[in-house]
């Protein structure tokens, strides 16, 4: 059902967020208003970097992102932080510096937002950084004295972190990186639903979309 990339209209197929826009009753788009922008970016990236045979397993998650949005910068910081924590231990070495800096930077944003003691690390961040101690020490030095406002983090840093993290997982030399991408998306959706105090999402029923959306790979695009 799901295809990679953007589709001009449902007759050309659909990606994860395009189908979400349709099910939410919005204009056809892969950037619908019904979903937090960073969560939507993560969903698009996971959709596009998952291999074709595994992508249909993402479809049941689509209803669960509808209505999940907030202006609270905590969402952006924590979505980015989870992605970096997940990716760092398994990503190729050339991506680990970026991801280690991302973890430290996101934790520092939480220091500011939550008025925590400077340098506080969650257990999940400490565990992720411990998998590459030399890189973690370099990242700590790199971040010393750096200042980034939450608004700049949300606008610039968080999307870059999502991109690096998803690419890192997709490129990792581990069994079944597609399952790890899916697990990251599932965990992030669960986080957002908890923050939003959302009710359980409805199931994705084929009759809700099959009459309108062309299945991926059905005929020429």
Residue 171 CB contacts under 8 Å (≥ 6 apart), including other chains: 91, 92, 95, 177
Range of the domain at 154: 73-196
The answer to whether residues 108 and 157 belong to one domain is yes
Phi, psi at residue 54, to the nearest 5°? Answer: -95, -15
Residue-wise pLDDT for 164-185, tens only, equals 999 999 999 999 999 999 999 9
- Report which of 71, 33, 63, 68 is spatially closest to residue 150, judged by C-alpha positions: 71
In a domain, 217, yes or no: no
Q: Residue 98: its pLDDT value, please? A: 98
With 70 as the cut, is the pLDDT of residue 219 above it?
A: no
Q: Residue 14: its pLDDT value, please? A: 78
Residue 96 CB contacts under 8 Å (≥ 6 apart), including other chains: 88, 132, 135, 168
Residue 124 CB contacts under 8 Å (≥ 6 apart), including other chains: 82, 85
Phi, psi at residue 14, to the nearest 5°? Answer: -155, 145
With 80 as the cut, is the pLDDT of residue 3 above it?
A: no
In a domain, 192, yes or no: yes
Q: Residue 221: its pLDDT value, please? A: 34
The answer to whether residues 82 and 190 belong to one domain is yes
């Amino acid at each position: 059902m799901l295809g990679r990339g953007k589709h001009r209209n449902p007759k050309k197929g659909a990606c994860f967020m395009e189908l979400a826009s349709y099910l939410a009753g919005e204009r056809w788009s892969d950037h619908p208003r019904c979903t937090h922008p960073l969560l939507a970016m993560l969903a698009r990236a996971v959709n596009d970097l998952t291999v074709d045979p595994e992508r249909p397993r993402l479809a049941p998650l689509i209803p669960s992102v509808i209505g999940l949005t907030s202006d609270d910068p905590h969402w952006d910081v924590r979505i980015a932080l989870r992605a970096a924590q997940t990716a760092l231990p398994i990503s190729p070495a050339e991506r680990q510096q970026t991801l280690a800096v991302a973890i430290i930077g996101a934790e520092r944003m939480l220091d500011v937002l939550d008025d925590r003691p400077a340098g506080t690390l969650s257990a999940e961040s400490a565990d992720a950084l411990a998998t590459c101690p030399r890189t973690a020490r370099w990242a700590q030095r790199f971040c010393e004295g750096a200042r980034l406002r939450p608004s700049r983090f949300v606008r610039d840093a968080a999307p870059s972190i999502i991109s690096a993290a998803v690419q890192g997982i997709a490129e990792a030399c581990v069994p079944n990186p597609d399952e790890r991408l899916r697990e990251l998306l599932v965990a992030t959706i669960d986080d957002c639903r908890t923050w939003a105090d959302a009710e359980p999402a409805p199931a994705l029923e084929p009759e809700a979309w099959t009459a309108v959306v062309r299945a991926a790979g059905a005929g020429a695009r």
